[in-house]
Amino acid sequence: MRTVFSIFLLFVVGMVPLRAGATAKILVLGDSLSAAYGITRQQGWVALLQQRLHALGLDYEVINASITGDTTRGGLSRLPATLEREAPAVLIIALGGNDGLRGFAPQQTAENLREMIRQGRATGASVLLLGIKLPANYGKAFGEKFHRIFLDLAQDEEVALVPFFLEGVAETRELMQADGIHPGASAQPRILDNVWSGLVPLLGESGRVAVPAGREAAGS
């Protein structure tokens, strides 16, 4: 009986935060796709992420450091100060779309993202990279080269990746705003589910409660 109780106790201890009372932070560094452009801040996927974590009883604070129009160069320039200020357990990098839309050299975008990944890891944060694809009118060759940035970086840096975090959204006209670039409010839960699939393993790395992936976890 004592052995059974000991095993149960070890199981419970392993399912609680490593530092009692400490609230870990998830830092989202992104552009308009994460800054809730065209909708209210509370409707955006980042705000919905905070709601999901709270609903699951997970002690995380989500910091949305996303700026509409930002590029990987801009994100890289402000990342060091943001990391120092927030000291996140998890860094979600959701940049690159504006680089592609402006025709920046893919190699420079890749190097900016690589440096952000390394800076995040240097502070002890787990890193999740969110991949993006360009609209078809940017051409197949350039579009494929651009998307390979994220796939190659994930492999080279051994970093967690969501290959296309607008999967099931960008190709569905009803979920997009009139500009055809920014997702509407109804698309945000789907975006969150896409991000969630890559985020869940990183929550385990930071010592928080193990949680299931998928829509069931959100109670949706």
pLDDT value at residue 28 = 98
Q: Could you confirm whether 32 is annotated as catalytic? A: yes
Per DSSP, the residues of 57-103 read T--EEEEE---TT--HHHHHHHHHHHHHHH--SEEEEE--HHHHHTT
pLDDT value at residue 18 = 36
pLDDT value at residue 17 = 38
CATH for 21-213?
3.40.50.1110
The structure's pTM equals 0.85
Q: Could you confirm whether 179 is annotated as catalytic? A: yes
Structure tokens at 35: 């800054």
Kindly list the domain boundaries of the chain, sorted by start residue. 21-213
What SS3 class is residue 119? helix
pLDDT value at residue 208 = 52
Of 34, 70, 99, 182, which residue is the catalytic one? 182
pLDDT value at residue 77 = 98
Q: Give the whole-angstrom CA distance, residue 71 versus residue 75.
A: 6
Of 32, 34, 66, 206, which residue is the catalytic one? 32
Q: Could you confirm whether 77 is annotated as catalytic? A: no
Residue-level length of the chain? 220
Q: Give the whole-angstrom CA distance, residue 30 versus residue 69.
A: 9
Structure tokens at 162: 């969501």
State which residues of the chain have pLDDT below 70. 1-22, 205-220
